[in-house]
């Protein structure tokens, strides 16, 4: 009985507060990450040698550095250069850039899957390269990239828990505080795990709906 | 007779891929309303020549004039404008998979020509009607037969109001039964005065409708002449050999 009271009055409100912060971190990071991924993916595929080289280096660095290290650099490192980011902003910057590097790989794969013939057809109609990418390539590549990009969003939901390492107190951060005050690690982190499970389940459901919404004949594997 | 300025003039096209020279200084003059048919063995350079004409493949040397005006490839704007005037039909259709038949035709009108949505739609519907696809305008490529897809691609090219059309073996990816529906569209175009350069293996069709036949082998134009000349008394030994083999295979029809 006492246990239940504790959970209702201390744990739930704190975790709820944390979850709101988590969502505030995840949503913009997912959107910025996807935008960065689409841009970088296109530069890697359609850019000239120099541009593609720069984009490739970006991906190599941001996929190669551990995310925690990246967050430490944004939060603890940048002040040495006179740039001060709040924990919240530093976390979003870190997540977006890292997520963008991963997204760009899914986008790149999808871009390469568009048959060359369609590019020739667009060019033969007088499309410029830019217009061709926007009107012909991206609408198709985006559909093909979606399952992979969705996967990256699910990952993002979970690695958003690293934000507390740079003092941005989100879901895991709140849990850590209560747990260390009460020593009820098992109970609290089981509840936290369930919260993340709910978040990822909702995200999966939304992503599936979005995928279905964009489904076209010829872009699915069911016969129509 | 007055010397006519050809609609399309191609001079001295050369293209090599690494060691292999696929085009060997090919030249063409195509007059208004003329249907020129390229024949020759596969790998002989027909596709490369057609794709070099609108610079989908960048030739190593060679110049192109459309209605007397030379195309300067490095002027992007001019190049895009030129490509609008040269319709291209591909062997494997190359429709945009994410768009309906109608969308495939309107996209060029809207995005390249900057036409308003409604006008583009009207024009696209008219073009699709011309190739007998009135009832299929809202289908996606995955829902169309090969012959229908090729006709959509013809409508897509026609919608841009081209001065000349390049057809790269438009029927070679089709089932035998569907070939005639595409060939009859080409015949119709010709009857309506469209200028065309087409590569094909249909000798019967070539013989019947071509104004001039060009025999291309190993990147060289070996012989040019009227269908009658090429098929009955070709000068070049290789032309005779090729034609008789193909005619044997497909019959005279």
* A175, A189 contact by CB (below 8 A): yes
Nearest to A126 among B81, B95, B97 (CB): B81
Which pLDDT belongs to residue B247?
Answer: 74
Q: Do B83 and A124 touch (CB under 8 A)?
A: yes
Kindly provide the ipTM of the predicted complex, given to two decimals.
Answer: 0.91
Query: How many whole angstroms separate alpha carbon B12 and alpha carbon A161?
Result: 65
| pLDDT tens-digit map of A37-56 | 999 999 999 999 999 999 99
User: Which residue spans within chain B are E strands per DSSP?
Assistant: 8-17, 20-30, 35-39, 61-66, 69-70, 86-89, 164-168, 195-199, 212-217, 220-225
- The domains of chain A, with CATH numbers, are 2-214 (1.10.3720.10)
Question: Does A118 score more than 90 pLDDT?
Answer: yes
Distance (Å) from the alpha carbon of A202 to chain B's nearest alpha carbon: 28
- Enumerate residue ranges in chain B where pLDDT < 70: 1-3, 250-253
List chain A residues with CB under 8 Å of B76. 128
Which pLDDT belongs to residue B253?
Answer: 46
Half-sphere exposure of A182 (CA within 13 A, CB side): 17
Q: Do B96 and A127 touch (CB under 8 A)?
A: no
Instruction: For CATH 3.40.50.300, list the domain ranges present in chain B.
Output: 1-85+163-253
Question: pTM for the whole thing?
Answer: 0.87
| pLDDT tens-digit map of B24-47 | 889 999 999 999 999 988 888 899
Widest pairwise Cα distance in chain A = 75
The backbone torsions φ and ψ at residue B163, rounded to the nearest 5 degrees and listed phi first, read: -85, -30
CATH of region B1-85+163-253: 3.40.50.300
| pLDDT tens-digit map of B73-116 | 899 999 999 999 999 999 999 999 999 999 999 999 999 999 99
């Amino acid at each position: 009985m006492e246990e239940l009271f504790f959970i209702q009055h201390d744990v739930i409100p704190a975790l709820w507060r944390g979850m709101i912060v988590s969502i505030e971190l995840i949503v913009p990071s997912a959107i910025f990450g996807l935008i960065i991924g689409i841009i970088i993916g296109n530069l890697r595929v359609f850019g000239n040698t120099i541009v593609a080289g720069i984009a490739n280096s970006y991906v190599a660095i941001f996929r190669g550095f551990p995310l925690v290290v990246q967050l430490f650099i944004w939060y603890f490192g940048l002040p040495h250069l006179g740039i001060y980011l709040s924990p919240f902003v530093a976390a979003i910057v870190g997540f977006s850039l890292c997520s963008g590097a991963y997204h760009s790989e899914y986008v790149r794969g999808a871009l390469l899957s568009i048959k060359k013939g369609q590019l020739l057809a667009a060019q033969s109609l007088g499309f410029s390269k830019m217009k061709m990418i926007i009107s012909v390539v991206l609408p198709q590549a985006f559909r093909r990239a979606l399952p992979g990009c969705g996967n990256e969003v699910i990952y993002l939901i979970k690695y958003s828990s690293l934000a507390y390492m740079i003092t941005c107190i989100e879901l895991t951060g709140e849990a850590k505080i209560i747990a260390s005050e009460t020593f009820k690690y098992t109970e609290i982190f089981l509840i936290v795990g369930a919260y993340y499970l709910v978040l990822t389940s909702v995200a999966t459901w939304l992503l599936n709906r979005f995928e279905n919404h964009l489904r076209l004949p010829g872009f699915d594997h069911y016969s129509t | 007779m007055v010397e006519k300025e050809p609609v399309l003039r191609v001079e001295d096209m050369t293209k090599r891929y690494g060691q292999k020279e696929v085009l060997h200084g090919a030249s063409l003059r195509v007059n208004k309303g003329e249907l020129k048919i390229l024949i020759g063995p596969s790998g002989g350079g027909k596709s490369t020549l057609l794709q070099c004409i609108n610079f989908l493949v960048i030739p190593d040397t060679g110049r192109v004039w459309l209605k007397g005006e030379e195309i300067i490839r490095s002027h992007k704007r001019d190049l895009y404008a030129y490509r609008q005037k040269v319709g291209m039909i591909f062997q494997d259709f190359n429709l945009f998979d994410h768009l309906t038949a109608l969308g495939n035709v309107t996209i060029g009108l809207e995005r390249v020509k900057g036409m308003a949505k409604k006008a583009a739609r009207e024009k696209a519907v008219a073009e699709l009607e011309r190739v007998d696809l009135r009832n299929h305008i809202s289908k996606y490529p995955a829902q169309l037969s090969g012959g229908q897809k090729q006709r959509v691609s013809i409508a897509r090219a026609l919608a841009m109001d081209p001065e000349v059309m390049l057809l790269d073996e438009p029927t070679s990816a089709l089932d035998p039964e569907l070939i005639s529906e595409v060939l009859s569209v080409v015949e119709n175009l010709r009857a309506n005065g469209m200028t065309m350069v087409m590569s094909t293996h249909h000798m019967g069709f070539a013989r019947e409708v071509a104004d001039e036949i060009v025999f291309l082998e190993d990147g060289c134009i070996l012989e040019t002449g009227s269908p009658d000349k090429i098929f009955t008394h070709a000068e070049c030994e290789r032309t005779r050999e090729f034609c008789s083999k193909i005619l044997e295979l497909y019959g005279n029809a």
